[in-house]
Structure 1
């Protein structure tokens, strides 16, 4: 082997060794950055938890600490149900809903004419329970703010009409538009006689926030996991693919004839 070739191979080995050292150093830096980032994330999470703990009980547009104030006319255990219809009706529909839930909107729009007809005829009574499932899943406070607002409408004797307005105008699930009290008050203008100073104060003060949270805890304690949960005769008809408004009407009318 010529001296020139020998020197060339030695130089190549040296360059390869230098390159390997560079790669090892780069890998060590990468691992250091990953560990450092992980530590920062943990510290950041701890800081967030600390901020949340420090702000517990404060009203930041979400829930606030305070007494549980049930809306006017609420019934059932712990006064967590808002009734619609006559107590003398032979059939009762129990509905667990989230004002931000698109599946709830789909149920309401599909069944609304039938439910109104049966309620107005005195054949059906509906018990509405309000929860804030979407707030927990996607973040935000639209479920809470919307539920408080319809509870405020119940105080004014306008629950059904305002409840229907909120579902008709419901934003996309990922759009937390109902977290804005001004938006909820603006929609109240679509219900005659609702947009009063008393209603506005109730919405802005979050008068029924603690009541909504208690209702949500009852939902969880009952082992319910999804909205809408629509119970008729102890069965969740929202999960029955064969159920239709016409079929529900037949069932209610059959019960009314007994």
Structure 2
């Protein structure tokens, strides 16, 4: 049996069997449906991406706001802790003659000395006591001959590590002695009488006042009130915070003209300290010292 033929512009071509035509039609419909479904899926994916992007933007904004708020909170907290006295609400009271950034340095020696010895120390720190017992005569000699000026930064590291308030109270008392022009002498007395690290004896203000009697003319009503009232406590706390931000993490920390020289190999000795100062001061005139610093 021959297949039906259809005329096509004067010619004839074989007409496809009905089954074949049906298969083509089904494939076409399937193709169109697949294309629509693919388009719908693509649009759904794009919508989902847009929703995720909006969510991330909003979340990022929230995180940024919270981050800014946290930073502001830290700054405000730091200012509250270190810039004002918690008892009086007044600005931190620096001792008389304090110098440097935020007036956190107690200077000893001629201000125009050619070299500067920087000392970070804690009055409860046994390593600081060991340093002072070994180097105090040399440091005083270099100060009194105009070779160096010493800059003291008072730290309360032991209070933070062991608890108590001896580091804070002793540092405040030393700052009170600075007000009286007798910091160096009282500083040395505190180290000469430093208690065991575990014994927070300097927390007792009467102990600090009794030790002040070893410095002629220091224990006055003004000094006594300064010690008892913790006049410089906030200043001491601010000094300790500055130490925490300095990059140093131990006491004593000793610098000569900004370079760390202690706790290294070879070990620093009084003679090597003199040699370092002499080398640093080569070609420079020593300062004129008119009186031995108190």
* Superposition TM-score tier, normalisation by shorter sequence: 0.7 to 0.9
Residues 112-170 of structure 1, C-alpha deviations (whole Å, 9 max, x = no match) = 11000000001110000001000000000000000000000000000000000000100
Equivalent of residue 244 in structure 1, options 251, 269, 272: 269
Aligned equivalent of 2:170: 146
CA RMSD of aligned residues (A): 1.5
Q: Structure 2 CA distance, aligned partners of 1:224 and 1:64?
A: 30
Aligned equivalent of 2:280: 255
Which segments of 5 or more consecutive residues in structure 1 lack a partner in the other structure?
1-55, 58-62
Q: 1:51-90 maps to which residues of 2 (within 5 A)?
A: 66=89, 67-90=91-114
Q: Are 2:137 and 1:113 equivalent residues in the alignment?
A: yes
Residues 204-246 of structure 1, C-alpha deviations (whole Å, 9 max, x = no match) = 0000000000000000111221100111133322212421110
Q: Structure 1 CA distance, aligned partners of 2:249 and 2:87?
A: 24
Aligned equivalent of 1:197: 221
Q: Are 2:181 and 1:157 equivalent residues in the alignment?
A: yes
Q: Structure 1 residues 112, 235: closer, same or farther in 2, change over 3 A?
A: same
Which segments of 5 or more consecutive residues in structure 2 lack a partner in the other structure?
1-79, 284-294
Kept after mapping to 1: 8 A contact 2:118/2:257: no
Q: Structure 2 CA distance, aligned partners of 1:221 and 1:140?
A: 22
Q: Structure 1 CA distance, aligned partners of 2:140 and 2:258?
A: 21
Figure out how many residues of one structure are paired with residues of the other and give that number: 198
Kept after mapping to 2: 8 A contact 1:65/1:210: no
Kept after mapping to 1: 8 A contact 2:118/2:258: no
TM-score between the two structures when normalised by the length of structure 1: 0.74
Kept after mapping to 2: 8 A contact 1:156/1:199: yes
2:189 aligns to what SS in structure 1? helix
Kept after mapping to 2: 8 A contact 1:64/1:209: no
Q: Are 2:175 and 1:188 equivalent residues in the alignment?
A: no
TM-score between the two structures when normalised by the length of structure 2: 0.65
Q: Per-residue deviation at 1:78?
A: 0.2
Q: Structure 1 CA distance, aligned partners of 2:180 and 2:258?
A: 31
Q: Structure 2 CA distance, aligned partners of 1:100 and 1:152?
A: 18
Kept after mapping to 2: 8 A contact 1:69/1:207: yes
Residues 22-46 of structure 1, C-alpha deviations (whole Å, 9 max, x = no match) = xxxxxxxxxxxxxxxxxxxxxxxxx
Q: Structure 2 CA distance, aligned partners of 1:241 and 1:109?
A: 20
